[in-house]
Amino acid sequence: MGARQAQPDHYVGDKAEYVREMFAGIAHRYDLLNSVLSFNRHKAWRRYAVRLANLKPGDRALDVCTGTGDFAVELYRATGRTGYVVGADFCAPMIERGRRKTERVAGQRIGMMIADALALPYPDNQFDCVTVGFGIRNVADVQQAFCEMARVARPGGRVLCLEFNQPRHWFWKPLVNFYQNRVLPRIGGLLSRRDAYTYLPASIQAFLSREELTAMMERAGLDSVRVYDLNFGSVCIHLGVKR
């Protein structure tokens, strides 16, 4: 097998390298797949998350693991022309697609940057709000990513994580699992790279619980962490406030 060893969970070799290469391979189909596989609900989830973050015109916001920039666009809509929004991702093809989108919506007013969520190139206490959408599950060190997000948020600023999770209700759990394990990889395989859409359910099932995510955010220096379930509990928002 050479240097790339099968891992006990859901990826092969170095996680960061695997994830970056996978998203580079599906960047051209990423938005289409998001819309098809979520029945176009993903936009409403991000809009709801931004409402919870309670941004005001003129605020400064950072979206890490921004991918094709959908969250950055929602942040821009909330902070307006007087605000300041940056989207950061370590995968160049995702950022390039995102830049085209943000320029269509906001001209040059959203900065799209190549940056690693585990070592953000921003000073401490810069942003009123720092978000991550469907990205935290993909980073190689979740605790470090939360520490970085908390570091660059200002005291009193919000850190928000939107991510897939497991439904808690006995009725929805098998239905959602069936969709994720059986339906989603087939549709993903038809429209894009199948391995990316077998990675997706496997990474969701191997991911941290709501309580573990809350504990990590608290260890990163965030208080009053609140959890909001969406889509029968298959999508979850964690929102904390920097001490």
Stretch that binds ligand SAM, among 15-23, 176-184, 190-198, 234-242 (CB under 6 A): 15-23
Residues linked to residue 226 through DSSP beta bridges, in sequence order? 239
Residue nearest to ligand SAM (CB): 67
- Residue 70 as a binder of ligand SAM (CB under 6 A): the answer is yes
- Residue 117 as a binder of ligand SAM (CB under 6 A): the answer is yes
- Residue 138 as a binder of ligand SAM (CB under 6 A): the answer is yes
- Residue 222 as a binder of ligand SAM (CB under 6 A): the answer is no
Sign of CA dihedral 75, 79, 80, 83: negative
Query: What is the distance between the alpha carbons of residues 83 and 134, in angstroms, rounded to a whole number?
Result: 24
Contacts with ligand SAM, 83-112, as mask; x by CB under 6 A: ------xxx--x------------------
**Of these, 134, 146, 164, 207, which contacts ligand SAM (CB under 6 A)?**
134
Q: What is the DSSP letter of 208?
A: P
| Cβ-based nearer residue to ligand SAM, 48 or 82 | 48
- Residue 116 as a binder of ligand SAM (CB under 6 A): the answer is yes
Query: What is the distance between the alpha carbons of residues 226 and 79, in angstroms, rounded to a whole number?
Result: 22
Taking a C-beta distance cutoff of 8 angstroms, is the pair 130, 156 a contact? no
List the one residue out of 60, 45, 55 whose CA is nearest residue 152. Answer: 60
Q: What are phi and psi of 131, to 5 degrees?
A: -120, 160
User: Where on the chain is the footprint of ligand SAM (CB under 6 A)?
Assistant: 16, 19-20, 23, 34, 65-67, 70-71, 89-91, 94, 116-118, 133-135, 138-139
